[in-house]
Amino acid sequence: MKKITAAITGIHAYVPDYILTNKELEKTVDTNDEWITSRTGIKERRILKGQGKGASVLGINAVNGLLNKTNINAVDIDLIICATATPDMLFPSTACIIADKVGASNAFAYDLMAACSGFLFALSTASKFIETGTYKKIIVVGADKMSSIVDYTDRATCIIFGDGAGAVMLEPSTEGNGIQDSILKSDGSGSEFLHMKAGGSALPASHETIEARKHFVFQEGQSVFKAAVTSMADVSEEIMKRNNLTSNDVAWLVPHQANQRIIDATARRMGVGNEKVMLNIERYGNTTNGTIPLCLWEWENKLKKGDNLILAAFGGGFTWGSIYLKWAYDSNK
């Protein structure tokens, strides 16, 4: 019997309409376009406006588009995993809300939380259900409304993040395409450098936590930057070596979009030229779990069956990882 691999058979993404430019941020915090662009590569990001709209709104749009594109009926979906750091509510899971709204009535659904590495962790988890023959159609969604946890008076964080979501369809392949390998890592000793101080069980919401602005992303930028540069490059190099891939074998690097300088360092270590790096940080900023599927979506028409892709991410936790996959279809046919 031929080995079953988990192949991405469709991709779709969604970003909200509102564009928050560097120029607009200049009006609210002490920053400027030149600083933001040279330190991060970001020019603008998208923001989901409207009362009561959570990350599920982004995810629902991405998943509905995916179902339309792939011509797959929602009732045939076995499982939906939503990677998110900004769930609509602590419970029910955002995946449950998405499943309900898209009509995936036969799917079970749950969220997976690994900060910016969540999409990779979810993709790897989902691939095991496919490889073992347990399920045939799984949707992995990465959705984040970062604007809901960003302090727009803190210039160290508000310039980085944006809102967005992407979703992939995973199905079995017997042609050897799809996910080949993954390396996933975490180190909780890094939590002090990137976290949200209140709102969890350790420090539930109170007047004090709100007054002290503890419900926003806290980041010690330089410490995170240093760890990200080393870890994302290390893990990408490691997955190449382990699979005997040279830089010539790699068609695309699909990096988490946190800072262009981190992406450049990873590409350099892999020996991969800029022309092979998916980069859209300029227009979307860091959408946390949305970054990697947003890249795949925008580059879909350039991808060819059999292309070797290296996905890489680093984020809060610390968490980081890399996935090696073979693209499973010619997108522009």
Catalytic residue annotation: 116, 256, 286
d(CA 176, CA 179): 9
Number of residues that bind ligand UT7 (CB under 6 A): 20
Which C-beta is closer to ligand UT7: that of 226 or that of 304? 226
- Rounded to whole angstroms, the Cα distance separating 187 from 101 reads 35
The least CB distance from residue 67 to ligand UT7, in Å, is 29
Taking the complex as a whole, how short is the minimal distance between the CB of residue 185 and ligand UT7, in angstroms?
Answer: 14
Within 35-94, the residues that bind ligand UT7 by CB under 6 A are 35-36, 39-40
Instruction: Note whether 258 binds ligand UT7 by CB under 6 A.
Output: yes
Q: What is the largest CA-CA distance in the chain?
A: 63
Residue closer to ligand UT7 (CB basis): 65 or 255:
255
Nearer to ligand UT7, 140 or 194 (CB): 194
Kind of pairing between the strands at 252-255 and 308-315: parallel
- Residue 91: phi and psi, rounded to 5, are -150, 150
Q: Which residues between 273 and 332 bind ligand UT7 (CB under 6 A)?
A: 286, 314-315
What tokens were used for 57? Answer: 């709104």
3 state SS of 299:
helix
Q: Count other Cβ atoms within 10 Å, centred on residue 212.
A: 11
Part in contact with ligand UT7 (CB under 6 A); list of ranges 89-97, 101-109, 154-162, 275-283:
154-162
* Binding-site member from 262, 296, 311, 312 for ligand UT7 (CB under 6 A): 262
Q: Nearest to residue 285, comparing CAs of 62, 47, 11, 113?
A: 47
101 binds ligand UT7 (CB under 6 A): no
Q: In this complex, which beta carbon is closest to ligand UT7, that of residue 39 or of residue 53?
A: 39
* DSSP one-letter string for 165-196: EEEEEEEEESSS-EEEEEEEEE-GGGGGGEEE
For ligand UT7, the binding residues (CB under 6 A) are: 31, 35-36, 39-40, 116, 155-156, 159, 221-222, 224-225, 228, 258-259, 262, 286, 314-315
